[in-house]
Amino acid sequence: MNLNFDLKNIKASDWKVYAKRTGSFLVKKSRWIMIFLVLLEAGYGIYLCYAYVYNPSWSETRKQAYINSQENGTVFNKNEFDAVIARIQDRKNAYRSSTASVPDIFK
C-alpha cells in the first residue's frame, strides 16, 4: 500500500477521488456514526444530571440565602381577589342572560 501524502503533487482529480472515498466511507458507516453520536449525547446528558442533581456546586451561604428568599412567600390581597371573582360572576351572568331581546334579522 502506497501512502504518499505530498499535498503539492495532488491533482484536482485526486481530490475528487478522495472526496468520493470519504463520502462512501461515511455512507457505509453512517449507522455506527449515528449510534456513536447518540451514545455521546446520552453520556453528556447523564453527566449533566449527575453534576446538577447529585453534586450541586452551591456554597453553604448561597444555599442559606436561597432558603431565606423562599421563606418570604407571596402576599395575598383579598380585595383584589374578590374583585376578580366578582368580574367572573358578571361575565358568567352576562353569558347566561337570555337572547330574546335580539331581533331576528333573517325574517
Report the chain's mean pLDDT, rounded to a whole number. 82
Say how far apart CA 51 and CA 45 lie, in whole Å: 10
- pTM greater than 0.75 (yes/no): no
> Would you say residue 1 has pLDDT above 60?
no
| Count of structural domains, the chain | 1
- The per-residue pLDDT for range 43-84, each reduced to its tens digit, is 999 999 888 888 777 788 888 888 888 877 777 889 999 999
Is 102 inside a domain boundary? Answer: no
Is 2 inside a domain boundary? Answer: no
Is 81 inside a domain boundary? Answer: yes
Is 33 inside a domain boundary? Answer: yes
DSSP E strands in the chain: the ranges are none
For 9, the enclosing helix (H) or strand (E) is none
Residues whose CB is less than 8 angstroms from the CB of residue 58 and which lie 6 or more positions away in sequence, other chains included: 66
- The per-residue pLDDT for range 21-52, each reduced to its tens digit, is 888 888 888 888 899 999 999 999 999 988 88
Determine the pLDDT at residue 13. Answer: 67
Is 86 inside a domain boundary? Answer: yes
What range does the domain containing 29 cover? 10-58+73-96
Question: Between vectors from CA 58 to CA 56 and to CA 64, what angle results, nearest 5°?
Answer: 125
Q: In this structure, what C-alpha cell is assigned to residue 2?
A: 502506497
